[in-house]
Amino acid sequence: MNRVYNFSAGPSMLPIEVLEKASKEMTNYNNTGMSVMEMSHRSAAYQDIIDTAEKTLREIMNIPDNYKVLFLQGGASTQFAMIPLNLLTGSKKADYVNTGAWSKKAIAEAKKYGEVNVVASSEDKTFTYIPELDKETFTKDADYFHITSNNTIYGTKFNELPDVGDVPIVADMSSNILSEEVDVNKYGVIYAGAQKNMGPAGVTVVIIREDLIGDPQDITPTMLKYKTHSDKGSMFNTPPTYSIYVAGMVFEWIKELGGIGAIQKRNEEKAKLIYDYLDSSKLFKGTVAQKDRSLMNIPFVLPTDELNAEFIKEAADRGMVNLKGHRTVGGMRASIYNAMPLEGVKKLVDFMKEFEENNK
Ligand SMILES: *Cc1c(COP(=O)(O)O)cnc(C)c1O
């Protein structure tokens, strides 16, 4: 069977060039006579892999020297607890914006360790927009301000950061890290599970300003302290070695394509193809407020459940898979992360046109 265009929200497509390189190196990495999977994380060969991955990530994201890059386990979901445990140490208050299921999980977890102020929510309209933020409602002495920068399930993203003064912004960037340029200086912490835009599941990248690492709550387990991992270069215990190796190749792939600016252009072009068609179609409908549209996850619906099901089935027959929307939104969702080629998006839009023509 040929490779398909995989529109999954995550784990999702990886660049074919990276998969082919991994496959070539599968049984014998760089004349070590072994797979990266079989390699001691304390070996010189592996140290070079993790160092190079970090260096390349720093380069493509332009990460300043006063930020640490950590390669952790436990997914973004573990960060929902690590963030409050490590950062709720001053006023023990934090502000959160509720823009969907992932925000809600982050909020529920933070409530166990301090006082959470939900400053805005878009739950009234099934999270189809990013709510207006009013500075007056922010907690002046909050330890941090949390956002989910891209909402994977609903297809919204923050295009503007809130004006929080000196309060550090913490962003769950799981589904849009590396998709567009960001100024890391504007954040206290950026975290993301790898399996959407960086590599295989198993590694979680945390980019954290050094002054936020120091002083976790007393109850914090050793493995959940940023300091534990930061002091040991993400090698306190065995890191997810193979996932880091593949992520490193993805960072390299981005660098060779011209960096994140170049990727962003590609992503904007890909998303525009779908959004322009949705805006002109009489049959398909986008579900998100135009100003808040994500570049990565694009939900859309047909007038009936029968048509949705028919579209998903026919698309799969044509080699376009995992287009079913999240159960809370229904319809379809096309996740078009960095690794989705332009041809995949063109093929999807061509099929949407054909489907509309046949269902007038
Ligand atoms: C997928 C996702 C998560 C959950 O990530 P895990 O790595 O599975 O814990 C959290 N936040 C966002 C925005 C996501 O897209």
User: In terms of C-beta density within 10 A (0-12 exposed, 13-18 middle, 19 or more buried), how is residue 338 classed?
Assistant: buried
Nearest ligand 1 atom to alpha carbon 102? 11
Task: Answer yes or no: is pLDDT of 168 > 90.
Answer: yes
Ligand 1 contact, 77 CB (< 6 A): yes
Beta-ladder partners of 301: 285
Task: Answer yes or no: is pLDDT of 29 > 70.
Answer: yes
Angle (CA) 284-289-291 rounded to 5° is 120
Place of tokens 């300003």: 209
Structure tokens at 135: 């500075």
Ligand 1 contact, 176 CB (< 6 A): no
Q: Where residue 312 falls among pLDDT bands split at 50, 70, 90?
A: very high
Q: What is the mean pLDDT of residues 50-69?
A: 98
C-alpha span between 248 and 30 (Å, rounded): 15
C-alpha span between 360 and 308 (Å, rounded): 15
Residue 74 CA, chain-centre distance (Å), reads 14
C-alpha span between 157 and 289 (Å, rounded): 10
- pLDDT for 36-48, tens place per residue? 999 999 999 999 9
42 annotated as ligand-binding = yes
| In contact, 193 and 236? CB cutoff 8 Å | no
64: Cβ contacts below 8 Å, ≥ 6 apart: 184, 185
Which residues belong to the active site?
102, 172, 196
C-alpha span between 196 and 297 (Å, rounded): 11
Helix and strand numbers (H, E) in the chain are 9, 14
C-alpha span between 10 and 194 (Å, rounded): 9
Task: Answer yes or no: is pLDDT of 360 > 90.
Answer: no
Neighbours of 269 (CB within 10 A): 12
- pLDDT for 225-256, tens place per residue? 999 999 999 999 999 999 999 999 999 999 99
- pLDDT for 129-142, tens place per residue? 999 999 999 999 99
C-alpha span between 321 and 312 (Å, rounded): 8
Strand 189-193 versus strand 169-172 pairing type: parallel
Residue 198 CA, chain-centre distance (Å), reads 8
Nearest ligand 1 atom to alpha carbon 201? 7
Task: Answer yes or no: is pLDDT of 258 > 90.
Answer: yes
- pLDDT for 95-105, tens place per residue? 999 999 999 99
Per-residue pLDDT, 2? 87
Strand 297-301 versus strand 285-286 pairing type: antiparallel
Closest residue by CA, ligand 1 atom 14: 174
> Ligand 1 pocket check: which of 72, 99, 170, 174 to mutate, most ligand atoms within 8 Å of Cβ?
174
The secondary element (H helix, E strand) that includes residue 105 is: helix 101-110
**Closest Cα partner for 190 from 277, 63, 101?**
63
112-to-3, 218, 346 alpha-carbon distances in Å? 45, 14, 46
165: Cβ contacts below 8 Å, ≥ 6 apart: 140
Task: Answer yes or no: is pLDDT of 1 > 80.
Answer: no
Task: Answer yes or no: is pLDDT of 73 > 90.
Answer: yes
Task: Answer yes or no: is pLDDT of 170 > 70.
Answer: yes
Q: What is the mean pLDDT of residues 297-301?
A: 98
Eight-state DSSP code of residue 3: P
215 annotated as ligand-binding = no
166: Cβ contacts below 8 Å, ≥ 6 apart: none
User: In terms of C-beta density within 10 A (0-12 exposed, 13-18 middle, 19 or more buried), how is residue 323 classed?
Assistant: buried
Task: Answer yes or no: is pLDDT of 316 > 80.
Answer: yes
Q: Where residue 280 falls among pLDDT bands split at 50, 70, 90?
A: very high
Tell me how far the alpha carbon of residue 82 lies from the centroid of ligand 1, in angstroms.
14
Instruction: State the angle between helix axes of 101-110 and 75-87 in degrees (0 to 180), rounded to the nearest 10.
Output: 40
Mean pLDDT, the chain, integer: 97
